[in-house]
Amino acid sequence: MKLNLKIWRQKDAKSNGQMVDYPISGIEGDMSFLEMMDVLNEELITKGEDPVVFDHDCREGICGSCSLQINGEPHGPDRLITTCQLHMRKFNDGDTIVIEPFRAKAFPVIKDLMVDRSSFDRIQQAGGYISVNTSGNTVDANAIPIDKHDADEAMDSATCIGCGACVAACKNASAMLFTSAKVSQYALLPQGQVEATDRVLNMVRQMDLEGFGNCTNTGACEVECPKGISLENIARMNREYFSASLKG
């Protein structure tokens, strides 16, 4: 199929960017979206032009590297998948596809479609862990039984891949879904209880410091999340935050 791509090009963080048109042909339905981008880049390299820079790595939907705002939606039109799992059969011959980086103040553009998501790492560093030494001299793994439902729910929260689609989907560029997924995972497990108060206060403080917006419950994050992280996580974090504030 033939497509008309409109792609955001930006030389570096300091330069201004702009949309550039790239007509492309010979695209097959079996190609993934990123393989379509590979075809484009190969053409650009052959012509002596700079290829389009974008983040990608595992190409199987788990590392969270790939991003891309495709026709206004993070990871494109399909649900519960990342851009690398999106296939070109979702598009039609002659389509125009608009490709932009994830937009947020806390995700500055590095080049073209690549953004800096280190703000996510700093939120995790502020408290996204259990302070247990890695000596291995802990209690036996089966010493504390955990209700299967709690364990399964913790697992659901823990499947967040840190891609940033929630932020890109949110009109406020809020990182509540991302932050709450980690807070929830630990809140649901007995091992996470000891530091619960400090954790939620520190992580939320860091989230605010990074310049993410507030949550106004539009639910766009849940819709666009490739891993289906639920809004319940945000509700749980709000409860944790409230009770921590009273204690703190």
> DSSP of 75-103, one letter per residue?
T-SSSS--GGG-BGGGS-TT-EEEEEPPP
Measured from the CB atom, is 86 or 221 closer to other proteins? 86
Distance of CA 40 to the CA centre of its chain: 25
- Give residues 120-179 in contact with other proteins (rule: CB under 8 A): 120-121, 124-134, 136, 138-142, 144-148, 151-152, 154-155, 158-159, 161-162
Give SS3 for 175. coil
Among 49, 77, 214, 245, binds other proteins (CB under 8 A): 49
Q: Does 209 bind other proteins (CB under 8 A)?
A: no
Q: How far is the CB of 91 from other proteins (least distance, A)?
A: 14
> Using CB under 8 A, which of 3, 32, 177, 204 touches other proteins?
32
* HSE toward the beta carbon, residue 197, CA cutoff 13 A: 7
CA distance 108 to 112: 11
User: Residue count at the site for other proteins (CB under 8 A)?
Assistant: 79
Q: Segment 216-235, which members bind other proteins (CB under 8 A)? A: none
Distance CA 78, CA 8 (A): 21
Give the largest CA-CA distance in the chain: 63
35 contributes a contact to other proteins by CB under 8 A:
yes
With contacts defined by CB under 8 A, name the span among 171-179, 183-191, 216-224, 234-242 that binds other proteins.
183-191
